[in-house]
Structure 1
Amino acid sequence: MSDEDGYFGESVAARYDESSAGMFTPDAVDPAVDLLARLAGGGRALEFGVGTGRIALPLAGRGVPVHGIDMSRAMTARLSAKPGGDTVGVTIGDFATTRAPGSFAVAYLVFNTINNLTTQDAQVDCFRNAAGHLEPGGCFVVEVGVPELRLLPPGQTAVPFGIGPAEWAFDTYDTATQAMSSHYVTVRDGRAEHSSIPFRYVWPAELDLMARIAGMRLRDRWEGWSGEPFTHESRRHVSVWEKPAD
Protein backbone atom coordinates (compact mmCIF):
# COMPACT_ATOMS: atom_id res chain seq x y z
CA MET A 1 0.00 0.00 0.00
CA SER A 2 1.89 3.06 -1.26
CA ASP A 3 -0.98 5.52 -1.72
CA GLU A 4 -1.21 8.07 1.12
CA ASP A 5 -4.98 7.56 0.94
CA GLY A 6 -4.57 3.91 1.85
CA TYR A 7 -6.71 1.49 -0.15
CA PHE A 8 -9.30 4.18 -0.91
CA GLY A 9 -7.34 6.41 -3.26
CA GLU A 10 -8.53 8.28 -6.32
CA SER A 11 -9.30 5.21 -8.43
CA VAL A 12 -11.61 3.82 -5.73
CA ALA A 13 -13.09 7.18 -4.70
CA ALA A 14 -14.03 8.00 -8.30
CA ARG A 15 -16.43 5.04 -8.48
CA TYR A 16 -17.23 4.40 -4.82
CA ASP A 17 -20.74 5.85 -4.72
CA GLU A 18 -21.71 4.08 -7.94
CA SER A 19 -20.22 0.74 -6.92
CA SER A 20 -21.98 0.92 -3.52
CA ALA A 21 -25.22 2.35 -4.87
CA GLY A 22 -27.38 -0.12 -2.93
CA MET A 23 -26.04 1.29 0.34
CA PHE A 24 -27.11 4.82 -0.61
CA THR A 25 -30.82 4.04 -0.93
CA PRO A 26 -33.27 5.46 1.63
CA ASP A 27 -33.96 1.93 2.92
CA ALA A 28 -30.27 1.54 3.79
CA VAL A 29 -29.57 5.09 4.99
CA ASP A 30 -32.69 6.31 6.82
CA PRO A 31 -32.81 3.73 9.67
CA ALA A 32 -29.14 4.36 10.45
CA VAL A 33 -29.62 8.11 10.48
CA ASP A 34 -32.76 7.76 12.63
CA LEU A 35 -30.89 5.80 15.31
CA LEU A 36 -27.79 7.99 15.27
CA ALA A 37 -29.85 11.17 15.50
CA ARG A 38 -31.68 9.78 18.54
CA LEU A 39 -28.42 8.83 20.24
CA ALA A 40 -26.89 12.21 19.48
CA GLY A 41 -29.81 14.04 21.04
CA GLY A 42 -28.74 17.65 20.98
CA GLY A 43 -25.04 16.79 20.86
CA ARG A 44 -22.37 16.26 18.23
CA ALA A 45 -21.64 13.09 16.22
CA LEU A 46 -18.26 11.72 15.13
CA GLU A 47 -17.92 9.30 12.23
CA PHE A 48 -14.87 7.06 11.93
CA GLY A 49 -14.19 6.40 8.24
CA VAL A 50 -16.53 9.14 7.01
CA GLY A 51 -15.71 8.49 3.34
CA THR A 52 -17.90 10.27 0.82
CA GLY A 53 -20.53 11.14 3.40
CA ARG A 54 -23.17 8.45 2.88
CA ILE A 55 -24.31 8.72 6.52
CA ALA A 56 -22.67 11.98 7.64
CA LEU A 57 -24.47 14.20 5.14
CA PRO A 58 -28.06 13.09 5.84
CA LEU A 59 -27.30 13.07 9.58
CA ALA A 60 -26.05 16.65 9.34
CA GLY A 61 -29.20 17.40 7.36
CA ARG A 62 -31.19 16.41 10.45
CA GLY A 63 -29.49 19.21 12.35
CA VAL A 64 -26.86 17.04 14.08
CA PRO A 65 -23.36 18.60 14.02
CA VAL A 66 -21.16 15.96 12.40
CA HIS A 67 -17.38 15.64 12.20
CA GLY A 68 -15.53 12.86 10.39
CA ILE A 69 -12.12 11.20 10.52
CA ASP A 70 -10.76 9.51 7.40
CA MET A 71 -7.36 8.70 5.92
CA SER A 72 -8.49 9.23 2.33
CA ARG A 73 -8.33 12.76 0.96
CA ALA A 74 -9.80 11.44 -2.29
CA MET A 75 -12.91 10.11 -0.54
CA THR A 76 -13.45 13.14 1.68
CA ALA A 77 -12.99 15.48 -1.30
CA ARG A 78 -16.15 13.89 -2.74
CA LEU A 79 -17.94 14.52 0.56
CA SER A 80 -16.93 18.18 0.61
CA ALA A 81 -18.06 18.68 -2.99
CA LYS A 82 -21.59 17.42 -2.34
CA PRO A 83 -24.49 19.67 -1.30
CA GLY A 84 -24.13 20.27 2.43
CA GLY A 85 -20.56 19.00 2.43
CA ASP A 86 -19.32 22.24 3.92
CA THR A 87 -21.30 21.49 7.10
CA VAL A 88 -19.31 18.33 7.91
CA GLY A 89 -15.89 18.90 9.42
CA VAL A 90 -13.14 16.48 8.42
CA THR A 91 -9.88 15.48 10.10
CA ILE A 92 -7.48 13.50 7.92
CA GLY A 93 -5.85 10.54 9.63
CA ASP A 94 -6.13 6.97 10.87
CA PHE A 95 -9.35 6.77 12.87
CA ALA A 96 -7.79 4.25 15.26
CA THR A 97 -5.63 6.97 16.79
CA THR A 98 -6.36 10.38 15.22
CA ARG A 99 -8.03 12.94 17.48
CA ALA A 100 -10.76 15.30 16.32
CA PRO A 101 -11.45 18.58 18.09
CA GLY A 102 -14.02 18.63 20.89
CA SER A 103 -16.20 15.97 22.47
CA PHE A 104 -19.18 14.08 21.12
CA ALA A 105 -22.47 12.53 22.22
CA VAL A 106 -22.10 9.66 19.77
CA ALA A 107 -19.26 8.16 17.73
CA TYR A 108 -20.04 5.65 15.02
CA LEU A 109 -18.48 3.38 12.45
CA VAL A 110 -20.62 1.76 9.74
CA PHE A 111 -20.59 -0.67 6.79
CA ASN A 112 -17.86 -3.02 8.13
CA THR A 113 -15.29 -0.23 8.43
CA ILE A 114 -13.92 -1.64 11.72
CA ASN A 115 -12.52 -4.46 9.56
CA ASN A 116 -10.32 -1.98 7.69
CA LEU A 117 -8.14 -2.04 10.79
CA THR A 118 -6.15 -5.18 10.06
CA THR A 119 -4.75 -5.96 13.53
CA GLN A 120 -6.41 -6.62 16.85
CA ASP A 121 -4.29 -3.90 18.44
CA ALA A 122 -5.56 -1.32 15.95
CA GLN A 123 -9.16 -2.35 16.60
CA VAL A 124 -8.62 -2.00 20.36
CA ASP A 125 -7.06 1.41 19.75
CA CYS A 126 -10.17 2.39 17.80
CA PHE A 127 -12.38 1.63 20.79
CA ARG A 128 -10.08 3.60 23.05
CA ASN A 129 -10.13 6.48 20.58
CA ALA A 130 -13.92 6.44 20.49
CA ALA A 131 -14.15 6.42 24.29
CA GLY A 132 -11.67 9.29 24.46
CA HIS A 133 -13.88 11.41 22.21
CA LEU A 134 -17.16 10.63 23.98
CA GLU A 135 -18.83 12.72 26.63
CA PRO A 136 -19.86 10.84 29.80
CA GLY A 137 -22.94 8.81 28.90
CA GLY A 138 -22.07 8.94 25.19
CA CYS A 139 -22.32 5.94 22.87
CA PHE A 140 -20.12 4.20 20.32
CA VAL A 141 -22.03 2.46 17.49
CA VAL A 142 -20.57 -0.15 15.14
CA GLU A 143 -22.24 -1.84 12.17
CA VAL A 144 -20.33 -4.91 10.97
CA GLY A 145 -20.95 -8.32 9.49
CA VAL A 146 -20.75 -11.56 11.40
CA PRO A 147 -17.82 -13.57 9.95
CA GLU A 148 -19.15 -15.91 7.26
CA LEU A 149 -17.15 -18.94 8.35
CA ARG A 150 -20.24 -21.15 8.40
CA LEU A 151 -20.19 -20.91 4.60
CA LEU A 152 -16.70 -22.43 4.38
CA PRO A 153 -16.64 -26.21 3.85
CA PRO A 154 -13.45 -28.03 4.90
CA GLY A 155 -10.55 -27.05 2.68
CA GLN A 156 -12.21 -23.96 1.19
CA THR A 157 -10.99 -20.43 1.91
CA ALA A 158 -13.16 -18.29 -0.41
CA VAL A 159 -16.78 -17.11 -0.24
CA PRO A 160 -18.31 -15.28 -3.26
CA PHE A 161 -20.55 -12.29 -2.58
CA GLY A 162 -21.04 -10.76 -6.01
CA ILE A 163 -21.40 -12.39 -9.43
CA GLY A 164 -22.31 -10.51 -12.59
CA PRO A 165 -21.74 -10.66 -16.36
CA ALA A 166 -18.45 -8.78 -16.13
CA GLU A 167 -17.77 -8.52 -12.39
CA TRP A 168 -17.00 -11.05 -9.67
CA ALA A 169 -16.34 -10.45 -5.99
CA PHE A 170 -15.31 -12.86 -3.26
CA ASP A 171 -13.79 -12.89 0.21
CA THR A 172 -10.90 -15.08 1.29
CA TYR A 173 -10.36 -16.07 4.92
CA ASP A 174 -7.46 -17.19 7.09
CA THR A 175 -9.10 -18.67 10.16
CA ALA A 176 -5.80 -18.90 12.03
CA THR A 177 -5.17 -15.14 11.98
CA GLN A 178 -8.67 -13.69 11.33
CA ALA A 179 -7.21 -12.06 8.24
CA MET A 180 -9.49 -11.75 5.24
CA SER A 181 -9.40 -10.00 1.90
CA SER A 182 -12.12 -8.84 -0.46
CA HIS A 183 -11.28 -9.47 -4.10
CA TYR A 184 -12.83 -7.79 -7.13
CA VAL A 185 -12.43 -9.02 -10.70
CA THR A 186 -13.74 -6.80 -13.49
CA VAL A 187 -13.67 -7.54 -17.22
CA ARG A 188 -13.23 -4.45 -19.40
CA ASP A 189 -12.67 -4.65 -23.16
CA GLY A 190 -11.90 -8.33 -22.88
CA ARG A 191 -9.27 -7.88 -20.18
CA ALA A 192 -9.66 -8.92 -16.55
CA GLU A 193 -8.58 -6.53 -13.79
CA HIS A 194 -8.11 -7.72 -10.21
CA SER A 195 -7.95 -5.66 -7.02
CA SER A 196 -8.10 -6.64 -3.37
CA ILE A 197 -8.42 -4.95 0.03
CA PRO A 198 -7.23 -6.58 3.28
CA PHE A 199 -9.41 -6.69 6.39
CA ARG A 200 -9.52 -8.34 9.80
CA TYR A 201 -12.81 -9.97 10.72
CA VAL A 202 -13.93 -9.73 14.32
CA TRP A 203 -16.55 -11.48 16.44
CA PRO A 204 -19.28 -9.72 18.48
CA ALA A 205 -17.92 -11.07 21.78
CA GLU A 206 -14.44 -9.87 20.83
CA LEU A 207 -15.80 -6.38 20.20
CA ASP A 208 -17.48 -6.44 23.62
CA LEU A 209 -14.12 -7.18 25.22
CA MET A 210 -12.51 -4.33 23.28
CA ALA A 211 -15.23 -2.03 24.58
CA ARG A 212 -14.55 -3.17 28.16
CA ILE A 213 -10.84 -2.49 27.70
CA ALA A 214 -11.81 1.04 26.63
CA GLY A 215 -14.09 1.48 29.65
CA MET A 216 -17.42 1.02 27.87
CA ARG A 217 -20.23 -1.50 28.26
CA LEU A 218 -22.65 -3.05 25.76
CA ARG A 219 -26.03 -1.33 25.82
CA ASP A 220 -27.80 -2.80 22.79
CA ARG A 221 -27.19 -5.20 19.93
CA TRP A 222 -29.53 -5.76 16.99
CA GLU A 223 -29.35 -7.46 13.62
CA GLY A 224 -29.94 -4.14 11.86
CA TRP A 225 -30.61 -0.46 12.30
CA SER A 226 -34.35 -0.95 12.81
CA GLY A 227 -33.86 -3.00 15.99
CA GLU A 228 -34.39 -6.51 14.61
CA PRO A 229 -33.37 -9.18 17.16
CA PHE A 230 -29.81 -10.45 16.87
CA THR A 231 -29.77 -14.26 16.63
CA HIS A 232 -27.36 -17.06 15.73
CA GLU A 233 -28.63 -16.74 12.13
CA SER A 234 -27.85 -13.00 11.87
CA ARG A 235 -25.26 -12.11 9.26
CA ARG A 236 -24.52 -8.66 10.67
CA HIS A 237 -25.10 -6.62 13.80
CA VAL A 238 -25.46 -3.05 14.96
CA SER A 239 -24.00 -2.74 18.46
CA VAL A 240 -24.11 0.19 20.89
CA TRP A 241 -21.61 0.54 23.73
CA GLU A 242 -22.00 3.25 26.36
CA LYS A 243 -19.38 5.25 28.23
CA PRO A 244 -20.27 5.50 31.94
CA ALA A 245 -21.95 8.75 32.92
CA ASP A 246 -19.87 9.19 36.09
Structure 2
Amino acid sequence: MTSSELWTAETAERYDAEESESGTGMGSAAVLGPTLDFLAELAGDGRALEFAIGTGRVGVPLRARGVPVAGIELSEAMAAVLRRKADADTLPVTIGDMATTRVPGDFSLVYLVYNTISNLLTQAEQVECFRNAARHLSPGGRFVIELGLPPLRRLPPGQTAVPFDVSERHLGFDTFDLVEQILVSHHFTRDGEDGRYRRENSRHRYAWPAELDLMAELAGLELEQRVADWDGTPFGQDSEKHISVWRKPE
Protein backbone atom coordinates (compact mmCIF):
# COMPACT_ATOMS: atom_id res chain seq x y z
CA MET A 1 0.00 0.00 0.00
CA THR A 2 1.42 3.36 -1.02
CA SER A 3 1.63 6.22 1.46
CA SER A 4 0.36 8.70 -1.14
CA GLU A 5 -2.78 10.60 -0.23
CA LEU A 6 -5.68 9.83 -2.57
CA TRP A 7 -7.28 12.57 -4.68
CA THR A 8 -11.05 12.57 -4.19
CA ALA A 9 -13.74 12.98 -6.86
CA GLU A 10 -14.51 16.48 -5.58
CA THR A 11 -10.88 17.55 -5.84
CA ALA A 12 -10.47 15.92 -9.26
CA GLU A 13 -13.41 17.88 -10.66
CA ARG A 14 -11.82 21.19 -9.56
CA TYR A 15 -8.22 20.35 -10.35
CA ASP A 16 -7.80 21.64 -13.91
CA ALA A 17 -9.58 24.93 -13.34
CA GLU A 18 -7.76 25.68 -10.10
CA GLU A 19 -4.33 24.91 -11.58
CA SER A 20 -5.06 27.25 -14.50
CA GLU A 21 -6.20 30.05 -12.19
CA SER A 22 -3.61 29.65 -9.42
CA GLY A 23 -0.45 31.68 -9.04
CA THR A 24 1.59 28.78 -10.47
CA GLY A 25 -0.28 28.83 -13.79
CA MET A 26 0.49 25.15 -14.33
CA GLY A 27 -2.37 24.77 -16.80
CA SER A 28 -1.32 27.73 -18.95
CA ALA A 29 0.13 27.52 -22.45
CA ALA A 30 3.20 29.43 -21.25
CA VAL A 31 4.03 26.62 -18.83
CA LEU A 32 2.89 23.69 -20.97
CA GLY A 33 4.71 24.72 -24.15
CA PRO A 34 8.29 24.37 -22.85
CA THR A 35 7.31 21.26 -20.85
CA LEU A 36 6.00 19.50 -23.96
CA ASP A 37 8.99 20.59 -26.06
CA PHE A 38 11.41 19.17 -23.48
CA LEU A 39 9.61 15.85 -23.08
CA ALA A 40 8.89 15.32 -26.78
CA GLU A 41 12.56 15.77 -27.65
CA LEU A 42 13.61 13.18 -25.07
CA ALA A 43 10.91 10.71 -26.16
CA GLY A 44 12.04 10.90 -29.79
CA ASP A 45 10.36 8.15 -31.79
CA GLY A 46 9.68 6.04 -28.68
CA ARG A 47 6.87 5.70 -26.17
CA ALA A 48 6.43 7.79 -23.01
CA LEU A 49 5.06 6.71 -19.64
CA GLU A 50 3.79 9.30 -17.17
CA PHE A 51 3.78 8.32 -13.50
CA ALA A 52 0.83 9.91 -11.63
CA ILE A 53 -0.70 11.17 -14.87
CA GLY A 54 -3.64 12.76 -13.05
CA THR A 55 -6.15 14.51 -15.29
CA GLY A 56 -3.77 14.45 -18.25
CA ARG A 57 -2.56 18.06 -18.04
CA VAL A 58 0.72 17.02 -19.71
CA GLY A 59 -0.02 13.55 -21.07
CA VAL A 60 -2.96 14.50 -23.28
CA PRO A 61 -1.24 17.35 -25.18
CA LEU A 62 1.97 15.32 -25.41
CA ARG A 63 -0.04 12.55 -27.08
CA ALA A 64 -1.53 15.18 -29.41
CA ARG A 65 2.02 15.98 -30.52
CA GLY A 66 2.40 12.45 -31.77
CA VAL A 67 4.18 10.86 -28.80
CA PRO A 68 2.54 7.57 -27.76
CA VAL A 69 1.75 8.09 -24.06
CA ALA A 70 0.59 5.70 -21.35
CA GLY A 71 -0.06 6.55 -17.72
CA ILE A 72 -0.18 5.21 -14.20
CA GLU A 73 -2.55 6.93 -11.76
CA LEU A 74 -3.50 6.08 -8.19
CA SER A 75 -6.77 8.06 -8.12
CA GLU A 76 -9.61 6.61 -10.17
CA ALA A 77 -11.36 9.98 -9.87
CA MET A 78 -8.44 11.82 -11.51
CA ALA A 79 -8.23 9.19 -14.25
CA ALA A 80 -11.96 9.59 -14.90
CA VAL A 81 -11.43 13.28 -15.66
CA LEU A 82 -8.61 12.39 -18.05
CA ARG A 83 -10.86 9.87 -19.77
CA ARG A 84 -13.15 12.71 -20.89
CA LYS A 85 -10.22 14.09 -22.87
CA ALA A 86 -8.78 10.91 -24.39
CA ASP A 87 -10.14 7.37 -24.74
CA ALA A 88 -8.34 4.24 -23.60
CA ASP A 89 -7.06 3.42 -27.09
CA THR A 90 -5.53 6.88 -27.46
CA LEU A 91 -4.02 7.08 -23.98
CA PRO A 92 -4.15 3.93 -21.82
CA VAL A 93 -4.08 4.46 -18.05
CA THR A 94 -3.40 1.80 -15.42
CA ILE A 95 -4.80 2.38 -11.93
CA GLY A 96 -2.07 1.85 -9.36
CA ASP A 97 0.81 3.45 -7.49
CA MET A 98 3.93 4.69 -9.25
CA ALA A 99 6.33 2.77 -7.00
CA THR A 100 5.19 -0.76 -7.85
CA THR A 101 2.68 -0.80 -10.72
CA ARG A 102 3.98 -2.32 -13.97
CA VAL A 103 2.52 -1.73 -17.42
CA PRO A 104 3.34 -3.71 -20.58
CA GLY A 105 6.21 -2.81 -22.86
CA ASP A 106 9.32 -0.67 -22.77
CA PHE A 107 9.53 3.11 -22.97
CA SER A 108 12.12 5.62 -24.14
CA LEU A 109 10.85 8.12 -21.56
CA VAL A 110 9.34 7.88 -18.08
CA TYR A 111 8.48 11.19 -16.46
CA LEU A 112 7.10 12.71 -13.25
CA VAL A 113 6.11 16.39 -13.30
CA TYR A 114 4.98 19.07 -10.86
CA ASN A 115 6.57 17.72 -7.65
CA THR A 116 4.63 14.46 -7.89
CA ILE A 117 7.37 12.20 -6.52
CA SER A 118 6.87 14.05 -3.24
CA ASN A 119 3.43 12.40 -2.99
CA LEU A 120 5.33 9.30 -1.87
CA LEU A 121 5.84 10.04 1.82
CA THR A 122 8.75 7.70 2.58
CA GLN A 123 12.27 7.51 1.25
CA ALA A 124 11.87 3.76 0.63
CA GLU A 125 8.89 4.35 -1.66
CA GLN A 126 10.72 7.06 -3.55
CA VAL A 127 13.62 4.65 -4.11
CA GLU A 128 11.15 2.06 -5.42
CA CYS A 129 9.72 4.70 -7.77
CA PHE A 130 13.16 5.08 -9.35
CA ARG A 131 13.48 1.31 -9.63
CA ASN A 132 10.05 1.10 -11.22
CA ALA A 133 11.03 3.73 -13.76
CA ALA A 134 14.19 1.79 -14.59
CA ARG A 135 12.14 -1.40 -15.09
CA HIS A 136 10.04 0.37 -17.71
CA LEU A 137 12.91 2.01 -19.60
CA SER A 138 14.54 0.57 -22.65
CA PRO A 139 18.37 0.84 -22.75
CA GLY A 140 19.29 4.47 -23.36
CA GLY A 141 15.90 5.66 -22.09
CA ARG A 142 15.44 8.59 -19.71
CA PHE A 143 13.67 9.21 -16.43
CA VAL A 144 12.65 12.85 -15.85
CA ILE A 145 11.54 14.48 -12.61
CA GLU A 146 10.36 18.04 -11.97
CA LEU A 147 10.70 18.91 -8.30
CA GLY A 148 10.75 22.09 -6.29
CA LEU A 149 13.42 22.89 -3.72
CA PRO A 150 12.04 23.63 -0.24
CA PRO A 151 12.67 27.30 0.60
CA LEU A 152 14.28 26.55 3.94
CA ARG A 153 16.59 29.55 3.72
CA ARG A 154 13.50 31.75 4.08
CA LEU A 155 12.76 30.27 7.48
CA PRO A 156 14.11 32.40 10.36
CA PRO A 157 14.66 30.61 13.67
CA GLY A 158 11.37 29.43 15.13
CA GLN A 159 9.34 29.89 11.93
CA THR A 160 7.86 26.85 10.17
CA ALA A 161 5.71 28.35 7.40
CA VAL A 162 6.49 29.95 4.01
CA PRO A 163 3.81 31.40 1.67
CA PHE A 164 3.94 30.41 -2.01
CA ASP A 165 0.81 32.11 -3.37
CA VAL A 166 -1.04 35.18 -2.10
CA SER A 167 -3.71 36.19 -4.59
CA GLU A 168 -7.30 37.41 -4.63
CA ARG A 169 -8.84 33.94 -4.65
CA HIS A 170 -6.14 31.83 -3.06
CA LEU A 171 -3.73 31.82 -0.13
CA GLY A 172 -1.19 29.03 -0.09
CA PHE A 173 1.65 28.32 2.32
CA ASP A 174 3.86 25.38 3.26
CA THR A 175 4.81 24.22 6.74
CA PHE A 176 7.89 22.06 7.30
CA ASP A 177 8.94 19.15 9.48
CA LEU A 178 12.71 19.33 9.03
CA VAL A 179 13.37 16.04 10.80
CA GLU A 180 11.05 13.88 8.69
CA GLN A 181 11.50 15.93 5.47
CA ILE A 182 7.74 16.42 5.29
CA LEU A 183 6.06 19.58 4.10
CA VAL A 184 2.35 20.25 4.30
CA SER A 185 0.82 22.52 1.66
CA HIS A 186 -2.10 24.53 3.02
CA HIS A 187 -4.65 26.10 0.70
CA PHE A 188 -7.37 28.63 1.44
CA THR A 189 -9.46 29.11 -1.71
CA ARG A 190 -12.43 31.46 -2.07
CA ASP A 191 -15.55 29.77 -3.42
CA GLY A 192 -17.96 31.97 -5.36
CA GLU A 193 -18.66 35.55 -4.43
CA ASP A 194 -20.02 35.03 -0.92
CA GLY A 195 -16.61 35.49 0.71
CA ARG A 196 -16.36 31.97 2.11
CA TYR A 197 -13.04 30.11 1.86
CA ARG A 198 -12.42 26.40 1.45
CA ARG A 199 -9.48 24.96 3.40
CA GLU A 200 -7.44 22.00 2.16
CA ASN A 201 -4.00 20.57 2.84
CA SER A 202 -1.76 17.84 1.49
CA ARG A 203 1.42 16.17 2.74
CA HIS A 204 4.61 15.73 0.71
CA ARG A 205 8.10 14.36 1.29
CA TYR A 206 10.72 16.70 -0.14
CA ALA A 207 14.08 15.40 -1.32
CA TRP A 208 17.26 17.16 -2.33
CA PRO A 209 18.90 16.68 -5.75
CA ALA A 210 21.84 14.75 -4.24
CA GLU A 211 19.40 12.39 -2.54
CA LEU A 212 17.59 11.79 -5.82
CA ASP A 213 20.91 11.08 -7.55
CA LEU A 214 21.62 8.38 -5.00
CA MET A 215 18.15 6.89 -5.58
CA ALA A 216 18.91 6.88 -9.30
CA GLU A 217 22.23 5.13 -8.70
CA LEU A 218 20.48 2.44 -6.66
CA ALA A 219 18.15 1.91 -9.63
CA GLY A 220 21.01 1.68 -12.12
CA LEU A 221 20.44 5.11 -13.68
CA GLU A 222 22.99 7.84 -14.42
CA LEU A 223 22.47 11.61 -14.18
CA GLU A 224 22.50 13.12 -17.67
CA GLN A 225 21.45 16.72 -17.03
CA ARG A 226 19.89 19.03 -14.46
CA VAL A 227 18.38 22.41 -15.30
CA ALA A 228 16.35 24.98 -13.39
CA ASP A 229 13.25 24.93 -15.62
CA TRP A 230 11.78 23.48 -18.80
CA ASP A 231 13.43 26.25 -20.86
CA GLY A 232 16.85 24.87 -19.89
CA THR A 233 18.02 27.66 -17.58
CA PRO A 234 21.22 26.52 -15.83
CA PHE A 235 20.64 25.09 -12.37
CA GLY A 236 22.28 27.03 -9.55
CA GLN A 237 22.22 27.63 -5.82
CA ASP A 238 19.36 30.14 -6.14
CA SER A 239 17.15 27.89 -8.28
CA GLU A 240 13.71 27.22 -6.82
CA LYS A 241 13.19 23.91 -8.63
CA HIS A 242 14.98 21.53 -10.96
CA ILE A 243 14.29 19.34 -13.96
CA SER A 244 16.56 16.31 -13.67
CA VAL A 245 17.18 13.67 -16.34
CA TRP A 246 18.69 10.27 -15.59
CA ARG A 247 19.62 7.79 -18.30
CA LYS A 248 19.50 4.02 -18.33
CA PRO A 249 22.84 2.78 -19.73
CA GLU A 250 22.86 1.00 -23.08
TM-score by length of 2: 0.92
Q: 1:192-211 counterparts in 2 under 5 A?
A: 192-211=197-216
Q: Tell me the equivalent position of 1:177.
A: 180
Q: Secondary structure at the match of 1:124?
A: helix
Where does residue 41 of structure 2 map in the other structure?
38
Paired residues of 1:161 and 1:170 also in contact (CA < 8 A): yes
2:6 corresponding residue in structure 1 = 7
TM alignment of 1:9-158, pairs within 5 A: 9-21=8-20, 22-82=25-85, 86-158=89-161
Q: Secondary structure at the match of 1:196?
A: strand
Q: Give SS of 2:229's match.
A: coil
Shift of 1:31: 1.1
Could you tell which deviates more after superposition, 163-172 or 235-244?
163-172
Cα-Cα RMSD: 1.5
Distance 1:112 1:93 in 2: 18
Q: Using the TM superposition, give the Cα deviation of residue 30 of structure 1 relative to its aligned residue in structure 2, in angstroms.
A: 1.3
Match of 2:223 among 199, 218, 223: 218
How many positions carry a matched residue from both structures? 241
Deviation at 1:190, TM superposition (A): 5.1
Give the C-alpha shift of residue 7 in structure 1: 3.2
User: In structure 1, the residue corresponding to 2:220 is in which secondary structure?
Assistant: coil
* Aligned-pair CA distance for 1:104: 0.4
Aligned to 1:242: 247
Q: Report the residue type matching 2:51 in the other structure.
A: F
Task: Give me the TM-score of the superposition, normalised by structure 1.
Answer: 0.93
Deviation at 1:56, TM superposition (A): 0.5
Gaps of 5+ in 1: none
Partners of 1:83 and 1:44 in 2: CA distance:
17
Unpaired runs of 5+ residues, structure 2, are none
